[in-house]
Amino acid sequence: MTASNRAGETNRFHDLLHAQIGNEFAASQQYIALALYYDDADMPQLARHFYAQAVEERNHAMMIVQYFLDRDLPVEIPGIPAPQTSFADYRAPIKLALAQENTVTDQIVALATTARDSGDYLGEQFMQWFLKEQVEEVSVMTTLDTVAQRCNGNLFDLETFVERELNGPEAADPTAPPAAGGNL
């Protein structure tokens, strides 16, 4: 076992993982801002979708926190920038969400690569679930962006799509890492 894999010792992967806690909390705050935009525009289905996304991103941050606790490593919660709160039109928040998910995917890939390259196989294994999750997140946001474009301004059709396809009950993923304090 390399020194970077022993409990209580940190490595470059852990430094990036601490930063990812902040990235996940920032994504959560940004999704709250998107939800508020849609709530204020009387688009309850999109608001509901993005409120749920905010909770999901919060849970991702707390999964990382739990990983540090489980590994007996110090946990750092970084500060985050303020989210964007004003948008040109109903499609702009969706485009921002898609860009955000693409950025998070790049961050997760960098984390998995760093864990592997540093010989932190426990960290690499931990990142596998997040890689799978990002494929789903980008796919959902890509579809939402495509449907919003095809609706061509018919917000009733967009809301109907979101209600029918995205806002159904979500089953808990039994493969997901545990979140510190439990999932919300």
Give, for all 184 residues of the chain, the pLDDT tens digit: 344 455 556 689 999 999 999 999 999 999 999 999 999 999 999 999 999 999 999 999 999 999 999 999 999 999 999 999 999 999 999 999 999 999 999 999 999 999 999 999 999 999 999 999 999 999 999 999 999 999 999 999 999 999 999 998 877 788 888 888 777 7
pLDDT score recorded for residue 147: 97
pLDDT score recorded for residue 180: 82
Amino acid at 102: N
d(C-alpha 141, C-alpha 148), whole Å: 10
**CATH number for the 12-166 domain, one of 3.30.420.40, 1.20.1260.10, 1.10.287.130, 3.40.50.720?**
1.20.1260.10
Exposed / middle / buried, residue 48 (Cβ in 10 Å: 0-12, 13-18, 19+): middle
pLDDT score recorded for residue 8: 57
* First CA to last CA distance, the chain: 35
Task: Report yes or no: 31 and 143 within 8 Å, Cβ to Cβ.
Answer: no
d(C-alpha 125, C-alpha 13), whole Å: 12
